[in-house]
Chain A
Amino acid sequence: MNSFRGFVIKEFKQIYRDTRTLVVLFGMPVLMLLIFGFAIRNEVNNAKIGVLDLAKDEVSSAIIQKIAASKAFQLNAYLTSYDEVESIFREGEIKEIIVFEKDFARNLSRSGSASIQLITDATDPNLANIVQTYTNAIIADYVQELNSNSIPDVGIKVHSKMMNNEELASVNLFVPGLIAVILMLVSALMTSISITKEKEMGNMEILLVSPLKPHHIIIGKVLPYLLLSVVNVVTILVLAKYIFQVPFLGSYVLFFAESILFIVTALSLGVFISSVANNQQTAMMVSLVVLLLPTILLSGFIFPIESMPLPLQVISNIIPAKWFLVIVRGIMLKGSGILIIWKETAILIGITLIFITFSLKKFKVRLQ
């Protein structure tokens, strides 16, 4: 036990004397949360648009004014003919061009209907969609004002209630995702590298001939990162709560228990990678390909899993971050208790156990 304590102390010292990494290690989550909390949004801000006004009458200019006044748009170009559309889109700044037909106001007053064309640069389908929806809403508003005294109040109204996230704040959604990405980074990547480092430098032999048991070595290696990760979770949580006012409805105890579970999952993944890889470069590249992009893309962090094709939905089940995300979103935003999220928790425990078993099996006591 004494030698184990000594080993753990050595590991801690090794990590904590490397100030540069420490600064990044502690600073990174803060910076990431700040950047993404403020920067990643799904609503549109100052999208540049153009107008091709073939009518130039009072109605078209009233609508243009309304659109230009909206925060979502920035009116940057006035076209004079259709031929300019292509060259403008090619330059890539303008995302939408609003075309008013000739005699717009006259058509509206005579036949009661007029039409507007919304030409979008749909290379980004998502943006094109959002921009169109926004424009449509502004135009619909205008029409309603126009008709306010002639339309009777009939028909079905939809009252929508957004549960769990009333302002649809993206940050509420991203915080759990960020926790997952950062924990993966700190726990899995760092452990896998630090164990393979011993192998690469030749220190593993020394460790193996020492009285330490293999599981002592592994536990000693992961313990400092476990601590670091917990500190990171606390930092993110504090920032999320006090700077971004992300609601926290559930129990803190449960949240930390689940976080530690996920950290252990990530650590065991790291240990597993290091038992497969022989040098740091390989360990790093493996962590990179199996961790970074899948954690961002297949966990539901940014893209909803329900939107994916079926095979990918199946694959997403083996991504630990997916389950962690469901759990954390549940706890933070819905106040779910263990009764609601026990299934996800069980799956996460299962994944962790599999990794631990595999890595214990693969961890060789002999080098050759």
Chain B
Amino acid sequence: MRIIKFLLQKEFLQIFRNKAMLPIIFVIPIVQLLVLSFAATYELKEARFALIDRDQSIASRELVSKLQATGYFTLQSEFTSGEEAQIQLDKGKVSFIVVIPRDFQQSLSSNNPTNIQLVIDAVDGSVANLINSYVNSIVRDFSIDKSASISLISPQNLQQASIKKISTQAINWYNPNLDYITYMVPGILVILVSMIGLFLSGMNIVREREIGTIEQLNVTPITKFQFMVGKLVPFWVIGMFDLLLGLTLARFGFQIPFLGSLTTILIIAGIYLVLIQALGLFISTITDTQQQAMFIAWFIMVVFILMGGLFTPIESMPMWAQKVTLANPIAYFIKIMRMVLLKGAGWKEVYGMVLIISAMAGGLLAISVNRYKKTSG
């Protein structure tokens, strides 16, 4: 026990002595949480469009002002020729072009079908989709408005009675305003804590090896177990501390509802951090230099982040990729965090995932402790 105490003392001293690392460990994650949580949104805020109005009628103006009234779209400029508008689109000055045909108003009032052309810059497919569906729904409303006012006097209102309508009513649970921040903050927090845990622990032992101090440790009577504990505990403590800091910020800064129990989160986080440290340790045992270790850790991290369901829902992946995410610890912890914090899930709902994480942690820890040899060469 005394040996472990001294080892821990040494590790903590080493961490806190490095002045450049302190802000990285404690300040930057918080800044990132603050900044990046706002970045992660798919909501369409504002898109500029170019207009080619060949009709120049009351109806066409009405439609354009309808488009602008939503607050999503701003008219950037009006053109008479398609080529000029196209150049604006290519330059990225506008996101889409609306083309209103010459006989727009006339067709409307005479109850003939008419077309609007929409040319969308679809380089960013998801934005293009959003624009398309927003414009479509605005035009649909406009069209219904118009035809309703016309059909009052037309023979078609006789038919109206037989038209069937099914209305849908959307109810969004847990997050009625479809607020992204609530959803993102727990996820980004998980990523930050994981990165700190993985990189610090992954680099640690390999550093001793690269500098050569590992030999000094090897010739001491310290056992493998004591050595590992000494290496793992400090980063575990730092990880938990960061998590607590982040949770406080989430609760009081972002006003994220904490529906579930905080104790549950902390216990699971404890297990999860052991898993991440074990992964770091494992990387440490298979590499010779810090550069190698870092590179592999980065690679794993990028894959974990992009396949963790944080930014793109796991549901949108093909089946095989959804299966792959079953091996991704970050995916589990993000899911647990969201379930417990946002939906108030308890042990009953999450114990399956906790078991998996625990098993992964145990297995990986066993493998890496086993791989670490007190002999060199």
Query: Which residues of A come within 8 Å of B, CB atoms?
Result: 18, 20-21, 24-25, 28, 31-32, 35-36, 38-48, 85, 89-92, 95, 108-109, 112-130, 132-133, 135-136, 139, 142-143, 146-147, 150-166, 168-170, 172-173, 181, 185, 189-190, 193-194, 197, 200-201, 277-282, 284-286, 288-289, 292-294, 296-298, 300, 302-304, 306-309, 312, 315, 326, 329-330, 333-334, 336, 340
Contacts and interface: CB of A to CB of B under 8 A. Distances in A.
Contacts of B291: 21, 190, 193-194, 197, 280
B24 A155 contact: no
A35 B307 contact: yes
A150 B163 contact: yes
Contacts of B125: 42, 165, 168-170, 172-173
Nearest to B172: A122
Contact of A122 (B25, B176, B313): B176
A45 B315 contact: yes
A292 B28 CA distance: 13
Interface in B126-175: 126-129, 132-133, 135-136, 139-140, 142-144, 146-147, 156, 159, 161-175
B301 interface: yes
A340 to B, nearest CB: 6
A69 B129 CA distance: 23
A280 B211 contact: no
A91 B343 CA distance: 9
A185 B47 CA distance: 32
Contacts of A336: 90
B295 A150 contact: no
Q: Which of A42, A116, A133, A194 has the most CB of B within 10 A?
A: A42
Given A41-B316, A302-B40, A308-B38, 14 more contacts: A21-B295, A40-B312, A45-B316, A45-B318, A47-B315, A160-B135, A189-B294, A284-B203, A296-B311, A304-B42, A307-B42, A312-B38, A326-B92, A333-B123
A201 B211 CA distance: 7
B306 A40 contact: yes
A289 B46 CA distance: 29
Interface in B25-68: 25, 28-29, 32, 35-36, 38-47
A235 B48 CA distance: 36
Nearest to A282: B20
A355 B115 CA distance: 52
Given A47-B315, A281-B203, A159 B21 contact: no
A281 B290 contact: yes
A303 B116 contact: no
A139 B307 contact: no
Contacts, number: 369
Interface stretch (B220-228, B245-253, B273-281, B334-342): B334-342
A112 B165 contact: yes
Interface of B: 18, 20-21, 24-25, 28-29, 32, 35-36, 38-47, 89-92, 95, 108, 111-129, 132-133, 135-136, 139-140, 142-144, 146-147, 156, 159, 161-176, 178-180, 182-183, 191, 195, 199-200, 203, 207, 210-211, 287-292, 294-296, 298-299, 301-303, 305-307, 311-313, 315-322, 324, 335, 338-339, 342-345, 349
Contacts of B169: 115-118
Nearest to A278: B20
A118 to B, nearest CB: 5
Contact of B317 (A45, A91, A154): A45
Contacts of A159: 115-118
Contacts of A157: 113-116
Contacts of B142: 156
A152 B123 contact: no
Nearest to A285: B24
Contact of A166 (B92, B122, B312): B122
A345 B235 CA distance: 42
Contacts of B345: 90-92
A285 B202 CA distance: 12
Contacts of B47: 306
Q: Which 3 A-B pairs have the closest CB atoms?
A: A122-B172, A39-B321, A125-B178
Nearest to B121: A163
Contacts of A333: 123
B120 A153 contact: no
A90 B124 contact: no
B277 to A, nearest CB: 16
B115 A119 contact: no
